[in-house]
Amino acid sequence: MNRICLLLLLTITSNLLAQEKQPLNHDVYDSWKDIEEQGISRDGKFIKYAINPQEGDGLLIITDNVGNVLSEVPRAKGSSFSYNSQFLVAKIAAQHDTVRAQKLAKVKKDKLPKDSLLIINLEDQRIEKVARVKNFEMPEKASGWLAYQLEKPIKEKKEPVDTTELTIEERATLDSLAEKKPEGSKLVIKNLQENREFTVDNVRKYEWAQKEAKIFFVLQNEEDSLKDVGIFSLNLENGERILIDSAYQNYGDFGVENNGRSIAFLATEDSAKATYKVFSLFLAESGKEAVRIVDTLSSGMRQQWMVSEHIKPRFSEDGNKLFFGTAPSHVKHQYAQDTTILDEERVSLDIWSHHDEDLQPMQLVNQEKDRQKQHLAVYHIKDKKLIQLGDETLENVVLDKDARLEKILATDNSAYKGAYSWDIQIGRDVYIVDLKSGDRQKISEAVKGYPSLSPEGNFVSWFDQQDSTWVIYDIKQKKANYIAKELSVNFYIEDHDSPSLPGSYGEAGWLKDDNAFLVYDKYDVWQFDPKGKKAPTNLTDGKGRADSVQYRVQKLDREKEYLDSQQPLILTAFHENNKKAGYARGKWQGAAPETIVFSDHYFSSFEKAELADNILLRRSTFQEFPELYTTQLSDFDLKQITETNPQQSDYLWGSAELTSWNAADGQKIQGLLFKPENFDPSKQYPMMVYFYEKNSDGLHRYRAPAPSASIINISYFVSNDYLVFVPDIVYERGLPGPSAYNCIVPGVLSMIDKGFVDNENIAIQGQSWGGYQVAHLVTRTNMFKAAGAGAPVANMTSAYGGIRWGTGMSRMFQYEQTQSRIGGTLWEKPMLYIENSPLFYADRIETPVLIMHNDKDGSVPWYQGIEFFMALKRNEVPTWLLVYNGEDHNLKLRKNRKDLSIRLSQYFDHYLKGAPAPAWMEEGLPATEKGKTLKYELMD
């Protein structure tokens, strides 16, 4: 057979196979699955992962360390390995279809099927299940024990009590019992290795010690709120309950010392229903009676302050210090307490004041958090001394991870907070707080960065955005070292393009004993002596910058706060131009990295076993789902252990490629072009154009078919014979709209020049910032046959003074400093606001526009979509506004996501493929038919 015949045969075969495949449709979403809950046991012998559909019942799979399946359990979730790697525990959800059927039958919530408990013995794969389990916990760093709490038994419906013969007092007693909500339920404490267990009724909350198998719990009897109330521990030898305290009516949160030698708890004489409760802090040391150690009258407690119920007590690592919260005492407002005023007579209003540090909407969003505001304090157990660490003038006091240091870091932004609505890069004063004395040492003022304490507490580090350099403050020497200032390399983000101070490329962390601090430039890893005595070391020897490869440190030990230089130095690697990625091996003393794996893939979810060299990671391309791989640290010989979506082979898919062109101003721009699977360069295809800032780095990311939260699903459109073009955008400050035009339109023209784009059938779609750019582009060009704009800002002049209702912040900062990139106030640069606002040029628009803007959008005010819609309607431009009731900026409810996906495809199919228009486009959806029909049907 000659070469021409062979090629012809292969082409025919390929076309036949392609014809057998089906394009993706909206019914396939539920069949596409993802990998969740991946994990590896501490000893590296076992792997777990769940294969879960987008909606429905998943499957938990347990394998050995090379992927051989040992167990499969349907519907398991929240799985955890035991500390000794001998057991796996999880919950098993009720069947999705069963729950759905019962909800359709209007079964009450407490009667719906409940979760079960799964226990797998990993040595022999024996499985045990327990019905109706509410939660479970294992000791974090101790083995052999499990505690789980059962749901309450379903109570039989009781016959109504005849109250005609009862006195008023008896009726009141019955009413109070009826209102009483059950507090506790049965707790089971199980020895997994010896298969013995103990049970305790009416447990409200429980907790293990972290490093020892010791358990503590609070009891609350639902039948009698004064009976068996108290805090207890359990003797795990004989199941005997050990009373710690039962003198109080209401017990709050509690904390256990790491080894279980002590417990601290909150308690009050006030009932759970009391409007104002005053708690005290108690300490029970091993074998000793519980002692009240802090209350409102304690030495060191500020006047009119009290113990807060909203901070869980916490012991220091050595058990000698106890951290807890304090707060000003409850203010009993006379107006609120006045029982002579009816609810309908009470005034309800918001007062916005120029004195407010936080705008009134921010206060309303945060009011519950503000009501629970508390300040950190410490009680020195041996010295019996209370030290207040934080207060109204120093609210942000942060403990180190293990609460083991004698000094902690605190910041105060109160002097700068009032400007936050328009200056999100406000300064903060930085303090070191001494735990023994409470003394505060201010180490810097107005820092525009985010300080952090080194693992051993010797240094504070931050990236100074004002000076564009890293700072290390030596606490003992009281001296700041500007460690990177003299180097010719930039440590700020070099392509920062918004009118704000650029941030850094980040830090890798500290070496053991605070011996060195590692930070990144755009490409390489640098090691600095925190004392400034040794010259900086480029750990990657400049190879990153020379090769345009970004190297970053891959942390191997999740438990350690520091980087362990006794372990190999593994680096992630990413080529900024061709988008290849992988891993390399470096040297702690500095050397050019040696490539381990480097390919046309996207790598993610790296995880190493704590006690072994076994590694899990995921790898993908646009065509290959990010499957799970196992390997060894020594060789990185990847072995695939999952095949998650084999059904993909039944559907037309496509390919992704990197493309580039020159912007209108001559800049080199990159983007992505997605082509159908059976792409024929001699044909012309309709093309969708989607954009949001820069996306080209995501060349090798898989895009699962899924109902849309706001944007087109690329896989769906490519499978349905569209090209999808995703251009990057480089911005010029003050010109966000023209910048989009400068990059996108030449990019589209470069695609047309390739000869396979149908230039009569091109559309654009974007959401949020992308929605704004869509709105701007259709005022500048008619090259697009249709457009989709999700949550667009149409009028920067009105949006500038609006509120982001999700946070309560003013939108000013966005225009002056961040994404909108105007770089000044409305009164400083009024013409830039107008020139960049599509609304003022709406009379130029001829392109049909589909808008989605939801009535609970917390990011872009809903009225922006309304302004844009009304302008288009007034100018007789075909336009539709989709408003999903109660939905936020991006759709959360799956039913709405499916609906949007259908409408997006119908809309673009109509304009770009000549498909019949659906009824909702032709007729709208009258309010009288809302909820009665979806109007998907296509019109003749």
Burial of 770 (0-12, 13-18, 19+ CB in 10 A): buried
pLDDT surpasses 60 at 199: yes
Number of alpha carbons in the 13 Å side-chain half-sphere of residue 82: 22
Mean pLDDT for 196-212 is 95
Q: What angle, 0 to 180 degrees and rounded to 10, lies between the N-to-C axes of helices 736-752 and 769-780?
A: 70
State how far the Cα of 21 lies from the Cα of 753, in Å rounded to an integer.
30
Torsion over CA: 305, 307, 309, 315 (sign)? positive
pLDDT surpasses 60 at 226: no
State how far the Cα of 854 lies from the Cα of 885, in Å rounded to an integer.
6
Give me the pLDDT at residue 433, please.
97
pLDDT surpasses 70 at 178: no
Q: What is the pLDDT of residues 550-564, one digit of tens each?
A: 999 999 998 899 999
Provide the pLDDT confidence category of residue 183 given band limits of 50, 70 and 90: low
CA proximity to 906, closest of 877, 869, 934? 934
State how far the Cα of 603 lies from the Cα of 880, in Å rounded to an integer.
40
Give me the pLDDT at residue 814, please.
93
pLDDT surpasses 50 at 544: yes
617 in helix, strand or coil? strand
State how far the Cα of 13 lies from the Cα of 833, in Å rounded to an integer.
57
For residue 488 the two structure tokens come to 């010719």
Between the alpha carbon of residue 577 and those of residues 536, 545, 655, the distances in Å are: 28, 12, 19
Non-local CB neighbours of 43 within 8 Å, separated by 6+ positions: 85, 609, 611, 612
Mean pLDDT for 141-159 is 84
Mean pLDDT for 591-611 is 97
CA proximity to 404, closest of 479, 476, 320, 484? 320
Q: What are phi and psi of 424, to 5 degrees?
A: -75, -5
Give me the pLDDT at residue 180, please.
45
Give me the pLDDT at residue 275, please.
81
State how far the Cα of 705 lies from the Cα of 496, in Å rounded to an integer.
33
Q: Find out whether 249 and 270 touch, Cβ atoms under 8 Å.
A: yes
pLDDT surpasses 70 at 173: no
Q: Find out whether 596 and 604 touch, Cβ atoms under 8 Å.
A: no
Give me the pLDDT at residue 335, please.
87
pLDDT surpasses 90 at 271: no
State how far the Cα of 758 lies from the Cα of 911, in Å rounded to an integer.
13
Torsion over CA: 65, 71, 72, 73 (sign)? negative
Provide the pLDDT confidence category of residue 486 given band limits of 50, 70 and 90: confident
503 in helix, strand or coil? coil
Q: Find out whether 379 and 293 touch, Cβ atoms under 8 Å.
A: yes
Q: What are phi and psi of 6, to 5 degrees?
A: -65, -45
Give me the pLDDT at residue 323, please.
98
Provide the pLDDT confidence category of residue 361 given band limits of 50, 70 and 90: confident
Beta-strand pair 639-640/654-662: unpaired
State how far the Cα of 464 lies from the Cα of 504, in Å rounded to an integer.
9
Q: How wide is the angle at C-alpha 553 spanned by C-alphas 551 and 559, nearest 5°?
A: 165
Non-local CB neighbours of 256 within 8 Å, separated by 6+ positions: 207, 208, 209, 210, 214, 216, 262, 263, 315
Give me the pLDDT at residue 485, please.
82
Give me the pLDDT at residue 158, please.
59
Give me the pLDDT at residue 334, please.
86
Provide the pLDDT confidence category of residue 791 given band limits of 50, 70 and 90: very high
516 in helix, strand or coil? coil
State how far the Cα of 813 lies from the Cα of 200, in Å rounded to an integer.
55
Give me the pLDDT at residue 179, please.
43
Supply the pTM of this predicted model: 0.91
Give me the pLDDT at residue 822, please.
96
pLDDT surpasses 70 at 14: no
Between 112 and 170, name the one with better pLDDT.
112
Give me the pLDDT at residue 242, please.
95
pLDDT surpasses 70 at 162: no
Give me the pLDDT at residue 715, please.
98
CA proximity to 653, closest of 702, 608, 617, 699? 702
Q: How is 655-686 classified by DSSP, letter by letter?
A: EEEEEEEE-TTS-EEEEEEEEETT--TTS-EE
For residue 744 the two structure tokens come to 């996108």
State how far the Cα of 254 lies from the Cα of 280, in Å rounded to an integer.
12
Give me the pLDDT at residue 169, please.
56
Number of alpha carbons in the 13 Å side-chain half-sphere of residue 839: 20
Q: What is the pLDDT of residues 526-543, one digit of tens each?
A: 999 999 899 999 999 999
Non-local CB neighbours of 16 within 8 Å, separated by 6+ positions: none
Give me the pLDDT at residue 900, please.
98
Instruction: For residue 860, give the amino acid letter.
Output: V
Provide the pLDDT confidence category of residue 339 given band limits of 50, 70 and 90: confident
pLDDT surpasses 60 at 1: no
For residue 712 the two structure tokens come to 């087109």
Q: Find out whether 242 and 222 touch, Cβ atoms under 8 Å.
A: no
Contacts of 562-569 spanning 24+ positions with Cβ under 8 A:
562/455, 562/509, 562/510, 562/511, 562/512, 562/513, 563/508, 563/509, 563/510, 563/511, 563/512, 563/518, 564/512, 565/511, 565/512, 568/633, 569/539
Q: Find out whether 473 and 459 touch, Cβ atoms under 8 Å.
A: yes
Q: What is the pLDDT of residues 850-892, one digit of tens each?
A: 999 999 999 999 999 999 999 999 999 999 999 999 999 999 9
Torsion over CA: 337, 341, 343, 346 (sign)? negative
For residue 420 the two structure tokens come to 């936050």
Q: How far is CA 571 from the centre of its chain?
A: 25
State how far the Cα of 380 lies from the Cα of 293, in Å rounded to an integer.
10
Mean pLDDT for 833-844 is 98
Mean pLDDT for 46-66 is 97
Between the alpha carbon of residue 72 and those of residues 61, 63, 390, 510, 641, the distances in Å are: 5, 9, 50, 41, 14
Q: Starting at the edge strand that comes first in sequence, how are the strands of the sheet with 69-74 ordered?
A: 33-40, 46-53, 59-64, 69-74
Q: What are phi and psi of 911, to 5 degrees?
A: -80, -35
Give me the pLDDT at residue 660, please.
98
- Percentage of the chain beyond pLDDT 90 is 84
Mean pLDDT for 323-330 is 94
Q: What is the pLDDT of residues 665-683, one digit of tens each?
A: 999 999 999 999 999 999 9
- Percentage of the chain beyond pLDDT 70 is 94
Q: What is the average pLDDT value for the chain, to the nearest integer?
A: 93
pLDDT surpasses 60 at 15: no
